[in-house]
Amino acid sequence: MTMPVDHGQVEVAAAWARVRQNLRASAGQRLFDRWLKPMELVAPDGDGVVRLTLPSAFMTDWVRNHYAERLTHEFRAQLPQVRDVVVETATALQARIVPPAPMVDLVPAPITAAPIAAPAVPQRAPAERPAFDPRYRFDRFIVSASNRVAFNAAKAVAEPGVPRFSPLFLHSGTGLGKTHLMHAIGHAFLEADPAASAVYLPAERFMFEFVAAMRARDTHGFKARLRGVDLLMIDDLQFVAGKDATQEECLHTINAFMDAGKRVVIACDRSPALLDGIDPRLLSRLGGGLVADIKAPETELRHAILAAKLAEVPGITVPEDVVDLLAGRIRGSVRELEGALNRLIAYASLTGDTIDMAFAHATLGEMLAGPAKRVTIDDIQRAVSAHFEVKQLDLVSARRAQVIARPRQVAMYLAKRLTTRSLPEIGRKFGNRDHSTVIHAVRRIEELRGVDREIDTAVRTLLRSLEG
């Protein structure tokens, strides 16, 4: 019996053949064969998302960092209905793969679809089918003081039984591990209870599907699909700021989950108290659960991340001084740190050069230039006194008035974060204060940054001026 032709799959497969030819022409044969040729197209499921797979996590990272935007542009040029291109690592759980299109000249001729085998595993409904990244699991998350609370909270949410708290609100700057933890929660939750269901949605996708449901007059179906699952995770909540209708639906959805005793995990780039353009009712609901932040990785964590990454790439040797260079200079995000290492290894494999300090500086020059500036405690005291309009001498005086004490705490916090001075050394620079005073100041400013917009803005401004 002849299987019916899925014209959508045929159309995407034909577009993929043209995209591959364009990539080979623009990238060159050597780079194409090394990184792009191994990509395979997963059979489309009609959601406007093209999914490509690669055989290893390292190759996936490299293609994402260097070709994500180009792939989306190429596919949209062929098929305007494509909304996004997702590059993933191939796993045994993937169903039906469309074989790589042969690299031949395209001629205008009818395309005959190859029969596509039925999935071996029954598929969930579109809203329930989890798409958790196989790289992002709890055992691959490097834990330290900067992220331990968020990590332990995420593991607790994934445990079976009555949830200990919900919602869980994770917040941090970009590339520090929020998305990793959300995917890890999904993996662990479904492994503990295979009969359960889960949904992970970026906030923009939540908004897109909700608006599409309103236009199709099917909001009831949208609500039923989401509220029928056991675990709901919404990423990048800041993108619904100012979208009143979407926020209203988000609030009702979260309330429904809370009333049913289900789990909700939200991620954002700042704490609920610092979100602008969000309905106060939604902020109140989000703040009523557990709010956990992830701070920028300290030096020890950056070293551990690089060591774990290198362990995944056998046969590659990166000298210890180069690892120290990356860990010391690239302080922003885990994603940036891993991207720098990926770039270093990729360039070495393409050029055949040995990785050493000279090669690292030549390859990562612009990435290493910014944070190399040496900041002193005197620099910090001058910047803080100018920002808060207090005398620099007041910061090292015995005065305890709030107008002096708070800037002094900010200066101590910045000294701990931006210099390598020990706590006793920092205390001596602030009027011979005890190291416990410095610890209290650092903890107090960390707390205030989560709830006081003025303090958080001041710290951000000072960090930019001092590191710039």
In a domain, 460, yes or no: yes
pLDDT confidence of residue 287: 85
The CA-based diameter of the chain, rounded to the nearest angstrom, is 90
Whether pLDDT at 384 is above 90: yes
Q: Residue 390 corresponds to which amino acid?
A: V
Least confident of 17-26, 175-184, 430-439: 17-26
Whether pLDDT at 46 is above 70: no
Q: How confident is the model at residue 157 (pLDDT cuts 50, 70, 90)?
A: very high
206: left (phi over 0), alpha (psi -120 to 50) or beta: alpha
Q: Which residue has the higher pLDDT, 60 or 254?
A: 254
Domain boundary (41, 70, 98) is at 98
- Do 159 and 257 reside in the same domain of the chain? yes
In a domain, 73, yes or no: yes
Mean pLDDT estimate for the chain: 81
In a domain, 27, yes or no: yes
Q: Residue 299 corresponds to which amino acid?
A: T
Whether pLDDT at 454 is above 80: yes
In a domain, 129, yes or no: no
Which residue, chain included where needed, has tokens 């494509």?
A: 82
- Do 367 and 381 reside in the same domain of the chain? no
pLDDT confidence of residue 45: 61
Q: How confident is the model at residue 143 (pLDDT cuts 50, 70, 90)?
A: very high
Average pLDDT on 55-84 reads 80
List all residues 6 or more positions away from 178 whose beta carbon is below 8 Å from its beta carbon.
150, 170, 171, 172, 235, 267, 294
pLDDT confidence of residue 22: 81
DSSP line for 118-148: PPSSPPPPTTT-----TT--GGGSPP-TTTH
In a domain, 122, yes or no: no
- Which residue, among 59, 8, 92, 81, has the nearest Cα to 313 in the 3D structure? 59
- Do 287 and 153 reside in the same domain of the chain? yes
Q: How confident is the model at residue 7 (pLDDT cuts 50, 70, 90)?
A: low
Whether pLDDT at 16 is above 60: yes
Which residue, chain included where needed, has tokens 């034909």?
A: 14
Alpha-carbon torsion, ordered 344, 84, 245, 248, to 10 deg: -60
pLDDT confidence of residue 441: 93
CATH classification at residue 364: 1.10.8.60
- Do 343 and 214 reside in the same domain of the chain? no
pLDDT confidence of residue 44: 67
pLDDT confidence of residue 369: 64
- Do 307 and 421 reside in the same domain of the chain? no
Domain boundary (267, 293, 319) is at 293
Whether pLDDT at 92 is above 50: no
pLDDT tens-digit readout, 324-382: 888 888 877 888 888 889 889 888 888 888 898 889 888 888 777 654 457 889 899 99
Number of domains making up the chain: 4
In a domain, 133, yes or no: no
Report the percent of the chain where pLDDT is more than 70.
87
Whether the ω angle into residue 167 lies within 30 degrees of 0, i.e. cis, is yes
Whether pLDDT at 99 is above 50: no
State whether residue 150 is helix, strand or coil: helix
CATH classification at residue 445: 1.10.1750.10
Domain boundary (332, 354, 371) is at 371
pLDDT confidence of residue 74: 84
Domain containing residue 330: 299-371
- Do 24 and 158 reside in the same domain of the chain? no
* Integer CA distances (angstroms), 145 to 74, 138, 170, in order: 42, 16, 15
Whether pLDDT at 105 is above 60: no
pLDDT confidence of residue 112: 37
Determine how many CB atoms are found less than 10 A away from the CB of residue 97: 15
- Which residue, among 354, 362, 353, 364, has the nearest Cα to 329 in the 3D structure? 364
Q: How confident is the model at residue 41 (pLDDT cuts 50, 70, 90)?
A: confident
Q: Which two tokens stand for residue 351?
A: 């050029």
In a domain, 104, yes or no: no
Report the percent of the chain where pLDDT is more than 90.
24
CATH classification at residue 253: 3.40.50.300
Least confident of 79-83, 111-115, 298-302: 111-115
pLDDT confidence of residue 111: 34
Average pLDDT on 419-443 reads 88
- Do 257 and 146 reside in the same domain of the chain? yes
Q: Which residue has the higher pLDDT, 56 or 139?
A: 139
* Whole-number Å distance between alpha carbons of 163 and 262: 7
Q: Which residue has the higher pLDDT, 357 or 467?
A: 357
- Do 283 and 390 reside in the same domain of the chain? no
Do residues 308 and 329 make contact, with C-beta atoms less than 8 angstroms apart? no
- Do 251 and 326 reside in the same domain of the chain? no
- Do 384 and 453 reside in the same domain of the chain? yes
Q: Strands 40-42 and 97-98, how do they pair? A: antiparallel
In a domain, 117, yes or no: no
**In what helix (H) or strand (E) does residue 450 lie, and over which residues does it extend?**
helix 435-451
pLDDT tens-digit readout, 171-192: 988 888 999 999 999 999 999 9
Whether pLDDT at 129 is above 50: no
- Do 288 and 394 reside in the same domain of the chain? no
Q: How confident is the model at residue 120 (pLDDT cuts 50, 70, 90)?
A: very low
Q: How many CA atoms lie within 13 A of 219 on its CB side?
A: 13
Q: How many CA atoms lie within 13 A of 113 on its CB side?
A: 16
pLDDT tens-digit readout, 296-305: 888 888 889 9
pLDDT confidence of residue 178: 93
Least confident of 60-69, 200-209, 285-294, 456-465: 60-69
Q: How confident is the model at residue 405 (pLDDT cuts 50, 70, 90)?
A: very high
CATH classification at residue 73: 3.30.300.180
- Which residue, among 128, 186, 130, has the nearest Cα to 155 in the 3D structure? 186
pLDDT confidence of residue 423: 85
* Whole-number Å distance between alpha carbons of 365 and 343: 12
- Do 325 and 185 reside in the same domain of the chain? no
